[in-house]
Structure 1
């Protein structure tokens, strides 16, 4: 048997050297059929994943409409506030109160809805606001009605961990949150605003604000150093660039959500950037949800993967490293096609490469600031470029 197998192998090897042999032709046909079948299977699977993304997007739109509708019923459309890239807004289950953290401006606030009669009761006002301030100080998120619908997990630590301090300068914790709330209510100016919900009922919004610590952005960034370092080493990209993108995208707000919607620290859109990044990192196509992207480790991994893809695939033909980084920064915000469009009027990156390579980094930055299709991206390139220097000492 072993001798026969050797003869068959030898016969095949001899035949393989003769492209005209029947055995070789048959082998080629079988190989071709296998490749075609694999390609067809991948196309079908990819189409299924695309359909999943479309269904997910439709469901997200439906849930958001339902969510904002319930807000409007009690707060009124003009007084609606929802989470953004820079601000996390969380409502109570019955929409009778809301807590918000502005990660860009460095302030937090709580607001409660009361009747006009209740608004005249100082003791009730203090009690309601104190309760909300204490909850804001220790909340790990995940309780907002939209988060609950989307199965968004709570953070490992309170969302404002290390970013609020007592009058004595001590960090606010679960142990001293009640005292911090008392101090805040005692010294804060309580605002009042009459609103009319879509249900036709007049209510009074009572609110107080409190500042985050001056270096709140840096403190939040510290929380993600280990993960950024790991992904920077894994993909071989500059950690300072990742921090600068994260800073600009969300101010290190792990609960960031844009209207698109894009989710999390590095503001990834499930059906485009997140999908591309997941395929690049894991070599398989998959539905990437907001639930997945709100986990910081997942978000940073895919954000780093997307930056690497832009660097090593889309703009690998840009010869000057500084110029390549500028193109990657712009593309992270607006996509490679729009960057190419700034040079040729067309979305083909390959056709844009000669013009990009003809410019110095300084000339390229000026060209991008003048010719990128959207003002947001023009500003974005400058902001990210400038913020890279803020994180030089955190490079691997």
Structure 2
């Protein structure tokens, strides 16, 4: 295993310069706050309260949408890390892109006119980041609510990149391409039905179509993001293959991913942890990253890359063996540096963990993490990222 391949060129001098510039900026910010009469502790409390409010706004928006969907669907599905779910025509039409399961599921009112399935699938294939955001009631409600937060908010402008662009052979598919692709995909569909409620609350049925996507769709999606990952790898002194491996594991390259926490997008950015730390690095102070910012795929990848940089080059910098530090950084992306340190020392001190890791082979560190991390999700996460990292490095 070649360590250089994991992290790219080890441009440690630029990394040190960036860290020094950031620390100087922080000192200036703290001095400015003190001059304005706000203590640093009061500032931190204001930031913490803003992120708490962000989370509450998301929870309220999701509950309202969930109640609406459950009034019709007895077995509803919602967007998560690996699925993108949309409801159309009120909530009578359900469209699911299961990136991990490599299939699309369409659910339409029973008795829908001939051609409805193809029209819905064609529309889905042509949907871009901007349209998907406009059709997302939860994210739009959260976007409106962050106006009143007592900290700076960064917004984005989701663009015209197709969510399912990896299904097409050319970068800018036209409607005719989508019509042909929809017809081709529907040839492999299987049909079923499931119970729903009609507008009056009575019993009804929905027709379900399960549509397999071509094998290797996730890898085709990865190709769309590789140029951006390459730029970020150079800018933030981490490996292109590491960025892709983390995105694959976090979301299966679902740019519309959203967890209940909430975590957003390709790199599953949690605004109050990775988003806070990475925005402080990028802008010089913690900022709230609105859904529109995190649903821009390029910006989402950037925040994830910056957070990996922070973990590897700052939080875990005292771990001298590069390969061991890499394994710790991957695990920390999922569970936090403190939980990683706890594996080796029983407490959250990274410095103590670094001392405990002196002279331990990297392979031993890897196995200690896989066996000792506190959550099964993280124990499984590390091997998945490492396996995919090797695959992207060699592709």
Asked if TM exceeds 0.5, the reply is: yes
How far apart are residue 87 of structure 1 and its match? 0.8
| Corresponding residue for residue 94 of structure 2 | 98
Which has the higher relative contact order, 1 or 2, with Cα contacts under 8 A spaced 6 or more apart? 2
| Corresponding residue for residue 65 of structure 1 | 63
Q: Separation in 2 of the partners of 1:63 and 1:357? A: 48
Given the superposition, is the C-alpha separation of residues 329 and 180 from structure 1 closer, same or farther in structure 2, using an over 3 Å criterion? closer
Contact 1:253 1:265 in 2 (8 A): yes
My pick for the range that moved more, 265-274 or 36-45, is 36-45
Q: Separation in 1 of the partners of 2:127 and 2:192? A: 23
SS of 2:78 mapped into structure 1: coil
Please show how residues 293-312 of structure 1 align to structure 2 within 5 Å: 293-312=294-313
Q: 2:120 aligns with which of 118, 121, 132?
A: 132
Q: 2:164 aligns with which of 155, 160, 165?
A: 160
Contact 1:97 1:111 in 2 (8 A): yes
Contact 1:87 1:256 in 2 (8 A): yes
Q: 2:72 aligns with which of 71, 74, 77?
A: 74
* 1:87 is aligned to 2:110: no
Alignment RMSD: 2.8
SS of 1:359 mapped into structure 2: coil
Contact 2:127 2:162 in 1 (8 A): yes
Given the superposition, is the C-alpha separation of residues 67 and 359 from structure 1 closer, same or farther in structure 2, using an over 3 Å criterion? same
The TM-score, its normalising length taken from structure 2, stands at 0.81
SS of 2:114 mapped into structure 1: helix
How far apart are residue 305 of structure 1 and its match? 0.8
How far apart are residue 160 of structure 1 and its match? 1.2
Q: 1:145 aligns with which of 129, 133, 137?
A: 137
Q: Separation in 1 of the partners of 2:55 and 2:236? A: 30
Question: Any gaps of 5 or more consecutive residues in structure 1?
Answer: 1-31, 119-123
Q: Separation in 2 of the partners of 1:370 and 1:211? A: 36
Contact 1:250 1:267 in 2 (8 A): yes
Q: Separation in 2 of the partners of 1:237 and 1:186? A: 43
How far apart are residue 40 of structure 1 and its match? 4.3
How far apart are residue 318 of structure 1 and its match? 0.7
* 1:112 is aligned to 2:143: no
Contact 1:164 1:213 in 2 (8 A): no
Please show how residues 1-396 of structure 1 align to structure 2 within 5 Å: 37=35, 40-76=38-74, 79-114=75-110, 118=111, 124-140=112-128, 141-142=132-133, 143-151=135-143, 154-163=158-167, 173-182=174-183, 184-185=185-186, 188-196=189-197, 200-392=201-393
The TM-score, its normalising length taken from structure 1, stands at 0.81
Contact 1:164 1:212 in 2 (8 A): no
Given the superposition, is the C-alpha separation of residues 305 and 39 from structure 1 closer, same or farther in structure 2, using an over 3 Å criterion? farther
My pick for the range that moved more, 248-257 or 132-141, is 132-141
How far apart are residue 149 of structure 1 and its match? 3.0
Contact 2:189 2:212 in 1 (8 A): no
Q: Separation in 1 of the partners of 2:31 and 2:44? A: 20
Aligned length: 350
My pick for the range that moved more, 55-64 or 37-46, is 37-46
